[in-house]
Structure 1
Amino acid sequence: MENYAKIANTGKYRVVIVGGGFAGIELAKSLRDADVQVVLIDKQNYHTFQPLLYQVATAGVEADSIVHPFRKIFAGQKNFYFRLAEVAHVDTEEQVVETSIGLIKYDYLVIATGATANFFGNEQMEQNAISMKSLNDATELRNTILYNFEQALQTDEVEQHNSLLDYVIVGGGPTGVELAGALSELRKHVLPKDYKELNFKEMDIYLIQSGPQLLKGMSEEASQKALEYLEDFGVKVWLNRRVQSYDGYTATLDTGETLITRTLIWAAGVTGNPIPGIRKESLLRGNQLKVDVYNRVDGYDNVFAIGDIAAMLTEEHPRGYPMLAQPALQQGRLLGKNLKSLIVGKPLEPFEYDDKGSMATVGRNHAVADLKLLNKEYKTQGFFAWLIWMFIHLISVVGFRNRLVVLMNWMWSYFTYDTGNRLIVGRKHVNIPMEETVSHKTME
């Protein structure tokens, strides 16, 4: 007898959604009034608001204020079922998802597994760097930052001391820029109060970008202004350089330059997170699933993909839509509408991306925003862009309590130049023990 997960058979079409990110929860919400059974599978029991992970990492907000349990989000949705499980494989012929809790049958399968950090095959980098894709990553980075300063108090050896104080961020996209700005604010306003014995003029923050500009995909004005802000904050921005290797102590660049650091943060790229069992012909470069204008996976009639895992190739976007929250939300919303149409035999509506623009914050009172409203483009930087960034992110956080907590954290930080709980709780990033490191010389 096959081992099936225990889920009530309601006799209705079953829509199985794998992944509870922006796309997955938006789809589930849009099916609230549909005559279907919605089953969401995720390896965590909560949704994470990923745009604020960097603030958890830098103690700007508390970890539990950017997550919300799925069962609480959908408490009033009668056709919704959640299962905490990891997906191992999908059998598209039998229409079965193989999970850690057993088999789950589906009529329609929606893959919304998102993306994960892309180390481009560099196993050494993957082992030693810290990525920023999950709540565990963010809390691990926070713990590591705080632990480093505790360790720095215990050593007088100059190079070892500097290796604990210096940070290298790889990737000049929004995550890298926002992390660099947040670390510079910690260095200026917060850490000197906690660690009075340390000289924070010795703390160097490097942002390494492989291309000629930051915030690729945003306007030239936004890129240049972000660079100016970071340099004003004392961040050392190195453009047109790639980090080729990192052994946990020495970061080596393609220019031959080396940097000594115990903390290298990887924000340089992402790759799709597909489910085993989908035919290889449907996978594109970057591990994304090729989908049509209805988000149907190439080669299938009842398997769909939405969000970062989906690559919808168009003339305007030959590599697919950007891996941002807005495309994911819009695809989830439209697919819900199309699934309802599909069940009753109505025609489907093709996806058209409503690009609302993009933004990034660099620090207190400093942000850049490229907005698109009513077919017009608006570019703004500085305090007004910062207010827009705060408002958009605040209303996007799931749950009223979470919004209130985040707002209170931000207000407290703004008026007191202080951050939230700077606690070392849980694991830190494991690196080479200090006594085992060899002597290196930093080239700047």
Structure 2
Amino acid sequence: MLEFDKLSLNIPATTKKRVVIIGGGFGGLNVALNLDSRDFQVVMFDKQNYHAFWPLLYQVATAGLEPDSIAEPLRKVFTDQDDFHFRLVRVTGVDSAAKTVKTLIGDLSYDYLVVATGSKSNFFGNAQVQKYAFPLKQMTDALNLRSQLLQCFEQASITKDPEIRQSLLNFVIVGGGPTGVEMAGSIAEMRKHVLPNDYPGLDFSKMNIYLVEGLDRVLPPMDPESSKAAHTYLDELGVEVKLKTLVDTYDGQTVILKSGEQIRSQTLIWAAGVTGALIDGIPAESVERGRVLVDQFNQIQGLTDVFAIGDLAYMKGGDPDFPNGHPGVAQPAIQQGERLAKNLGQLVRNREMEPFRYFNKGNLAIVGRNRAVADLPRNLHLKGFLAWATWLFVHIFYLIGFRNKLVVLSNWIYRFFTYQRGTRLIIRPFVRKEDVQAQEFLVKNEMV
């Protein structure tokens, strides 16, 4: 194992302006891709060496796609870009006065800093739920959840205890936004088309899927008619939707709702909200509602030459069409990244920057085969097959890498005709540290 005191960032000196980007998500990627290497040296830090297409993460979790089909190595993305340097390292903080980024293996000075760390799951201070729930924000989360789902079916097929079997077949999804709705629909389609063939000894009419939402409708950011259509699709697939309902606590075995209702379940999937992935060095007065306050140029309020984009950025009042900030989805991050790259080019030429204006290209959510909803510009609303086809096209279009587009498209075509999901593999068995019996079972079966 390498010793930290013998490591360094090893970034070459430069006479060009150095732009340091923290995070290789949609925002950071699009800043780096649009910067002119004749003017800038670009350094990107990230804790993972790939860019992932997070809107399809739920399909990895439900065995529809392999992880590498929605991810692309960052070094491969920038193979042809001069003076770009990627380092797989965790950033520990920022010193804006010294214009320095701090990492575990050394510090690096910058001329311009772009913080694009995205968001993380928000458990709203509920430590008990956070301990036992399954979030869905990273690739590791999706793989853990995939293992959990498949292990539940395997264990349900061999247990003699009907109560334990039922708890294994009860799945609770918290959050009725796009992630929660799409996850619920995907599991419901597995129940209908895949699982009965894999586990003929199990009665899947007893498998329950609960979608818990605190507001009065699913897909709150979308048009009410789209929400209504999505709710109808969920009902058709047999998902039990609980509106105006909040989770009180969860101990890994029983979900207790604020109403007092209890649901025995060994799988609670958390899709109820996110908060900004903050880093040390950003002043507390520049943070509001878990996000970083930025001006109309995405510059962090109170700091100079430090910018925040994507889910982390809270442009409060900066964009007249979105006075309460932009939605935490891919499109604002992509557009902010493109605009910021152009503005940095303006800065080095001593020209004025242009304020960011978000163009909303629409909102999409898929519930299942031929079941989707779309809110598009010019007040156009689609549902059913047309929305489903639009969703497929948009997601293929925005995937990074030709190979990924081809693999995902071929997977979807295969599933359309066969209903099969070919990645039902427990590669890395998941077990909670507290579950001693499960650990013993895995050891005895030589699964770990």
TM-score range relative to shorter protein? over 0.9
Residue matched to 2:334: 329
1:134 aligns to 2:138 (yes or no)? yes
1:229 aligns to 2:233 (yes or no)? yes
Offset at residue 316 of structure 1 (A) = 4.0
Residue matched to 1:105: 109
Residue matched to 1:297: 300
1:394 aligns to 2:399 (yes or no)? no
Counterparts of 1:108 and 1:212, CA distance in 2:
44
Counterparts of 1:431 and 1:261, CA distance in 2:
18
Where has structure 1 moved over 3 Å in runs of 4 or more?
1-4, 431-436
The secondary structure found in structure 2 opposite 1:109 is strand
Residue matched to 2:14: 10
Residue matched to 1:175: 179
Offset at residue 427 of structure 1 (A) = 4.2
The secondary structure found in structure 1 opposite 2:341 is helix
The secondary structure found in structure 2 opposite 1:37 is strand
1:345 to 343, 350, 359: 350
Query: Residues 289 and 310 of structure 1 are in contact (CA less than 8 Å); yes or no, is this contact kept in structure 2?
Result: yes
Counterparts of 1:28 and 1:125, CA distance in 2:
37
Residue matched to 1:440: none
2:291 to 282, 288, 291: 288
Counterparts of 2:141 and 2:170, CA distance in 1:
19
1:417 to 416, 419, 427: 419
Counterparts of 1:328 and 1:423, CA distance in 2:
33
1:62 to 52, 62, 66: 66
Counterparts of 1:255 and 1:184, CA distance in 2:
25
1:254 aligns to 2:231 (yes or no)? no
1:369 to 350, 370, 374: 374
The secondary structure found in structure 1 opposite 2:379 is strand
Say which is worse superposed, 92-101 or 77-86, in terms of deviation: 92-101
Query: Residues 141 and 429 of structure 1 are in contact (CA less than 8 Å); yes or no, is this contact kept in structure 2?
Result: no
Query: Residues 169 and 176 of structure 1 are in contact (CA less than 8 Å); yes or no, is this contact kept in structure 2?
Result: yes
The secondary structure found in structure 2 opposite 1:264 is strand
Residue matched to 2:446: none
Query: Residues 4 and 104 of structure 1 are in contact (CA less than 8 Å); yes or no, is this contact kept in structure 2?
Result: no
Residue matched to 1:95: 99
Query: Residues 334 and 351 of structure 1 are in contact (CA less than 8 Å); yes or no, is this contact kept in structure 2?
Result: yes
Offset at residue 420 of structure 1 (A) = 2.0
Counterparts of 1:64 and 1:288, CA distance in 2:
30
Query: Residues 28 and 116 of structure 2 are in contact (CA less than 8 Å); yes or no, is this contact kept in structure 1?
Result: yes
Letter in 2 for 1:336: A
Residue matched to 2:443: none
1:7-46 residue CA offsets vs partner (Å, 9 max, x unmatched): 0112211000000000000000010455110001000000
1:313 to 298, 313, 316: 316
The secondary structure found in structure 2 opposite 1:226 is helix
Query: Residues 250 and 259 of structure 1 are in contact (CA less than 8 Å); yes or no, is this contact kept in structure 2?
Result: yes
Offset at residue 2 of structure 1 (A) = 12
Offset at residue 319 of structure 1 (A) = 2.8
Query: Residues 148 and 164 of structure 1 are in contact (CA less than 8 Å); yes or no, is this contact kept in structure 2?
Result: yes
Residue matched to 1:439: none
Query: Residues 262 and 431 of structure 1 are in contact (CA less than 8 Å); yes or no, is this contact kept in structure 2?
Result: no
- Equivalent pairs counted in the alignment come to 432
1:363-397 residue CA offsets vs partner (Å, 9 max, x unmatched): 0111000001xxx1210100010000000001111
TM-score, structure 1 as length reference: 0.95
Question: Structure 2, unaligned stretches of length 5 or more?
Answer: 439-448
1:160 aligns to 2:164 (yes or no)? yes
TM-score, structure 2 as length reference: 0.94
Counterparts of 2:45 and 2:405, CA distance in 1:
25
Q: 1:87 to 1:247 in 2, by over 3 A?
A: same
The secondary structure found in structure 1 opposite 2:166 is helix
Letter in 2 for 1:307: G
Residue matched to 1:74: 78
Offset at residue 434 of structure 1 (A) = 8.5
Letter in 2 for 1:357: G
The secondary structure found in structure 2 opposite 1:326 is helix
1:88-142 residue CA offsets vs partner (Å, 9 max, x unmatched): 1111111111112211111111000000000001111111000010100001100
Letter in 2 for 1:428: F
Counterparts of 1:392 and 1:301, CA distance in 2:
36
Q: 1:333 to 1:112 in 2, by over 3 A?
A: same
Query: Residues 244 and 254 of structure 1 are in contact (CA less than 8 Å); yes or no, is this contact kept in structure 2?
Result: yes
Counterparts of 2:169 and 2:408, CA distance in 1:
28
The secondary structure found in structure 2 opposite 1:168 is strand
The secondary structure found in structure 2 opposite 1:187 is helix
2:202 to 198, 205, 212: 198
The secondary structure found in structure 2 opposite 1:207 is strand
Q: CA RMSD in A?
A: 1.5
Residue matched to 2:53: 49
Query: Residues 282 and 289 of structure 1 are in contact (CA less than 8 Å); yes or no, is this contact kept in structure 2?
Result: yes
Letter in 1 for 2:403: R
Letter in 1 for 2:423: N
1:240-280 residue CA offsets vs partner (Å, 9 max, x unmatched): 00011000011111111111100000000000011101111
